[in-house]
Amino acid sequence: MLRLEGLTKTYKTGDQALKDIDLEVPKGQVMALIGPSGAGKSTLIRCINRLVEPTSGKVLLDGTDIARLPSGPLRRARREMGMIFQEYALVERLTVMENVLSGRLGYVGFWRSFTRRYQQADVDEAFRLLDRVGLLAMADKRADELSGGQRQRVGICRALIQNPKLLLVDEPTASLDPKTSRQIMRLICELCAERGLAAIINIHDVALAQRFVSRVVGLRLGEIAFDGAPDGLTPEVLTSIYGEEDWEATIEKVDDPEEDIEAAE
Ligand SMILES: Nc1ncnc2c1ncn2[C@@H]1O[C@H](COP(=O)(O)OP(=O)(O)OP(=O)(O)O)[C@@H](O)[C@H]1O
């Protein structure tokens, strides 16, 4: 579904953020991207939808090389890739419903997008999505009246209403408390499973990644240092990605019985 071939990004400053990355993500797979600050995680996610221009290499989405598309076809290709941001990127003065519907802007013509007139089918789908994430009663509230977890749920609905094949998720829980972080990760993974959606989730919290996804890719200095199942993240592997730290404490968090009770709720 998504294949990166020799993906390289060197910023104008000379920083080599990605070095010859080869990576394949099949349909429906949710993958966590971990690694220390500056490893290249955000750059990798942003090269896929070309918010950052790759220096060289291919970004193949169902065989189409996104890296080579001119602006018109790129705009169409971006519909296939929903993005979820750390800081939610909502329009604060608009309602929850309007924020969700803005995810359809890539589909509507200029005039409809200018006047923000949406088709009834889009409005119906927005209500369905808000219901699914538990925000139906909030549809008419302004975005700035919501909590962080509620904002992220709106961000998730806005990405999903695009009807994408792939979700690019950049630190979805970095601004949230631990319990809300788990709820949001669980929601993203459940929605991907329900819709057969692939996702790449850039995440700092290793324990959270281990808990929810079946594949973890570890980046270090712009290169893949680990690619495998979460239980392969031994203290030695984590040290090879992050450097020396007391990993036992981090890994133990996964087995916290209190969290298991919460997961069963
Ligand atoms: N706009 C930019 N201009 C120049 N260098 C950049 C730019 N953005 C990122 N870099 C550099 O590229 C490298 C990778 O950065 P990137 O933000 O992708 O890492 P990251 O793993 O997402 O880090 P973090 O977890 O802190 O967000 C770093 O050395 C960073 O300084």
What's the predicted TM-score (pTM) here? 0.90
- 42 ligand 1 Cβ < 6 A: yes
- 18 ligand 1 Cβ < 6 A: no
135-147 b/e (C-beta count within 10 Å ≥ 16 → b): beebbeebbeebe
88 alpha carbon – ligand 1 mean position (Å) = 19
| pLDDT for the residue numbered 115 | 63
18 alpha carbon – ligand 1 mean position (Å) = 10
Mutate to test the pocket of ligand 1, among 7, 42, 51, 55 (most ligand atoms within 8 A of CB): 42
Q: What is the largest CA-CA distance in the chain?
A: 56
pLDDT by position in tens, the chain (length 265): 999 999 999 999 999 999 999 999 999 999 999 999 999 999 999 999 999 999 999 999 999 999 999 988 998 899 999 999 887 788 888 899 999 998 887 776 555 555 667 788 999 999 999 999 999 999 999 999 999 999 999 999 999 999 999 999 999 888 888 999 999 999 999 999 999 999 999 998 999 999 999 999 999 999 999 999 999 999 999 999 998 766 666 665 555 544 544 443 4
| pLDDT for the residue numbered 263 | 43
2-28 b/e (C-beta count within 10 Å ≥ 16 → b): bbbbebbbeeeeeeebbbebebebeee
76 alpha carbon – ligand 1 mean position (Å) = 27
User: Which residues, at least 6 apart from 135, have a Cβ–Cβ distance to it below 8 Å?
Assistant: 96, 150, 153, 154, 157
| pLDDT for the residue numbered 43 | 96
- 17 ligand 1 Cβ < 6 A: yes
Taking the C-alpha atoms of residue 76 and residue 255, their distance in angstroms, rounded to an integer, is: 43
| pLDDT for the residue numbered 175 | 84
237-252 b/e (C-beta count within 10 Å ≥ 16 → b): bbeebbeeeebeebbe
Give me the amino acid identity at 128.
Answer: R
Closest CA relative to residue 84, chosen from 65, 100, 72: 100
Mutate to test the pocket of ligand 1, among 21, 33, 37 (most ligand atoms within 8 A of CB): 37
Bridge partners of 24, per DSSP, are 3
| pLDDT for the residue numbered 160 | 95
Taking the C-alpha atoms of residue 264 and residue 257, their distance in angstroms, rounded to an integer, is: 11
221 alpha carbon – ligand 1 mean position (Å) = 10
179 alpha carbon – ligand 1 mean position (Å) = 28
- 230 ligand 1 Cβ < 6 A: no
| pLDDT for the residue numbered 85 | 85
Sequence-ordered alpha helix ranges (H) in the chain? 41-48, 71-78, 96-101, 110-115, 120-132, 148-160, 178-195, 206-212, 235-242, 247-252, 257-264
